[in-house]
Amino acid sequence: MHIPDGFLSPAVAVVGFIISAIFLAVAVRKVGKRLDERMVPLMALLTALFFAAQMMNYPVVGGTTAHLLGGAVLGIVLGPWAGCISMTVILVLQCFLFADGGITALGANILTMGIVGVFVPFLIYSALSKLSKGRCAVVWLAVGAFLGDVLAAIVAGILLGLSTPVFQYGLEIAVPAMALHHSVIGAAEAVITVAVVLTLVRVRPEIMSLSPSMRSLVRVSGAPSKE
């Protein structure tokens, strides 16, 4: 899903930077006030985990790539604002150290993966968990992860399609291609999200109980909580 340099029109690239900058400014302020310091090691661990996971990718349309995202785990476990910062760190490091994603497209990549890919799973999981009163939490984790991945890909396809003729394919090709490939990736994303979250709940319930999104799942699992 990383968009390289030269694939976006200047207008689309600038809009991506503006939206991402606004979200990151808010994220830094909120995380500075609200993030429990006991969550910081977990934040670092998950950032490193999905940094590595995203390095395994394959080409899709016109040079863009498909890969696991990790936005669902980051957004749901850490909260969307901290998750947004974690994903941004991943994208910046990949961009400057490995040329995975272009510098001029960095704002767009943060928009698709660090904002859409993080906030959508969190909002879906939170809404469905609230409606079901905490029941079927594992199902909602999977649903949120799948939809977050696919919607992030669709937004990437829209940005690419709007960048013609800089990008060679229009919306009618870019969007379906990104959505199709990430529907498959999204299924794997759902499985991995559930596996990672349930493992964390079992191994570190005292840390997971610090996350508002995870407290009900920790209680349902029967794992002891040590706040």
The pLDDT assigned to 159 comes to 97
The pLDDT assigned to 227 comes to 44
Q: How far apart are CA 174 and CA 46, in angstroms?
A: 30
Q: Where are the domains of the chain?
A: 10-221
130-183 per-position pLDDT tens digit:
999 878 889 999 999 999 999 999 999 999 999 999 999 999 999 998 898 888
The pLDDT assigned to 208 comes to 87
Q: Is residue 158 classed exposed, middle or buried when 0-12, 13-18 and 19+ CB atoms within 10 A define those classes?
A: middle
- Which residues are within 8 A (CB) of 214 and not within 5 positions of it... i.e. 6 or more apart? 76, 77, 197, 201, 208
Q: How far apart are CA 159 and CA 166, in angstroms?
A: 11
The pLDDT assigned to 104 comes to 97
Beta carbons of 62 and 168 less than 8 angstroms apart: yes
The pLDDT assigned to 1 comes to 79
Three-class SS string for the chain? CCCCCCCCCHHHHHHHHHHHHHHHHHHHHHHHHHCCHHHHHHHHHHHHHHHHHHCCCEECCCCCEECCCCHHHHHHHHCHHHHHHHHHHHHHHHHHHHCCCCCCCHHHHHHHHHHHHHHHHHHHHHHHHHHCCCCCHHHHHHHHHHHHHHHHHHHHHHHHHCCCCCCCCCHHHHHHHHHHHHHHHHHHHHHHHHHHHHHHHHHCHHHHCCCCCCHHHHHHHCCCCCC
Q: How far apart are CA 75 and CA 9, in angstroms?
A: 29
Q: Which CATH number fits domain 10-221: 3.40.50.1460, 1.10.1760.20, 1.10.8.290, 3.40.50.150?
A: 1.10.1760.20
Whole-model pTM above 0.95? no
The pLDDT assigned to 164 comes to 93
The pLDDT assigned to 55 comes to 79
Q: Which residues of the chain have pLDDT under 50?
A: 225-227
The pLDDT assigned to 53 comes to 87
